[in-house]
Structures are given as structure tokens and as C-alpha cells.
Amino acid sequence: MSLYFITGNKNKFEEVKAILGDVEQLDIDLPEIQDIDAKNIIRAKLLEALNYKEGKFIVEDTSLYLDCLKSLPGPLIKWFLKTIENNGLANMAEKLGNNRAEAKTIIGYAKNRDEIEFFEGSIFGKIVAQTGVSGFGWDPIFQPDGFDKTFAEMTTEEKNNVSMRKIALEKLKEFAAKEQNQL
């Protein structure tokens, strides 16, 4: 049975394929339920995908969790970016006096409706005033611990070395090996 990674993002797919090997991209738009627990959002998507076609599925969520907001926005990050944008997020962290943040990827893997597993990867760091011109989403305001620059200022290679997605993917790969099982 085929394994599908559900994403519209070609770069994310390439990152997953490089680590997992035998996986296909499936670019479908699944409804996102409202929740601050990314696992619930991912689970709902996986169950939709299992209804949609035969196969095994991977869904990922990469979000930013701010200490000053008790872990908001998390998976609601896109609405913050659409409204107050990176400058608003950085300003909030500064005004609230706490710039600590966690960049977290959660990967959900569904073999079937009853076997859904989650794998997490986190990078901790701080929110800084917007830097860099390029970069995806909140890359220009997140500076991982041990670095003096934001994700947006890093080369692709540098960024891949501090990838929360890679950590989560390696856990998924280990899981597959332990189960002595193809995903």
C-alpha cells in the first residue's frame, strides 16, 4: 500500500523523501479544524485522508509557540502572520518581556484509522526584531539557541542542521525500523 505525504509544498516533500525514501506527494486540501493542539488537527486530517483514498498517510505541522502567550499561537500561527505579521509578534514578545519560543514540528503517521502515531521535533530559541528579507513564514523573527542569526538569515544548509522537521522525521524513521516494518 502506498505511503503519501500530504502537502502542497514541494520543498517539504523533498525533505521528507530524502529521509524516508519510498513516499509519494499528495497535494490535497484537507479541512483544518480549530485547535491549539496540533495533534488534534493532524488526526482530523489523517482521518479525512483515510476516507479519501486507500493508503498510508503522513501529515505534518510546523508551528511557533511563544512563552509570553502560554504557547499560542502554535498551529494558529498563520492567522497571527495574516494580521499582526512578524513585526507584531516580535513587538508583542518584547512588550510582554519574554522572548522565549519553541519551533516545533509534529508529524502524524496513519497506517489505518486505529494506528496513528505522532513524532515531534523541537528547536528552542528566541523571538527577535525582524531580520533578513527572505524566509518562510516566521523565519525572519526566530533565532535558534546557539546562533546569532534568524532562520531567514541562514543558508539552506545551515538551516537543515537545526531542523525541527528533520528531528521529527528521524523519529518516524526509527519507529519504522523498530517495527521491522515498512511504513
Binding its own copies (rule: CB under 8 A), the pick from 5, 13, 80, 119 is 80
Closest listed residue to residue 137, CA positions, set 91, 45, 75: 75
Q: Are strands 73-74 and 100-112 parallel, antiparallel or unpaired?
A: unpaired
| Contact present, 3 and 23 (Cβ < 8 Å) | yes
d(CA 80, CA 162): 24
d(CA 116, CA 43): 8
If binding is defined by CB under 8 A, does position 138 make contact with its own copies?
no
Closest listed residue to residue 147, CA positions, set 159, 137, 135: 159
Q: Please report how close the Cβ of residue 23 comes to its own copies at its closest, in angstroms.
A: 26
Q: Please report how close the Cβ of residue 75 comes to its own copies at its closest, in angstroms.
A: 8
If binding is defined by CB under 8 A, does position 21 make contact with its own copies?
no
If binding is defined by CB under 8 A, does position 50 make contact with its own copies?
no
If binding is defined by CB under 8 A, does position 70 make contact with its own copies?
yes
Q: How many residues bind its own copies (CB under 8 A)?
A: 24
Number of residues that this document lists for the chain: 183
If binding is defined by CB under 8 A, does position 71 make contact with its own copies?
yes
Q: Please report how close the Cβ of residue 78 comes to its own copies at its closest, in angstroms.
A: 8
What residues make contact with its own copies under the rule CB under 8 A?
31-36, 41, 44, 69-72, 75-76, 79-80, 82-84, 88, 91-92, 95-96
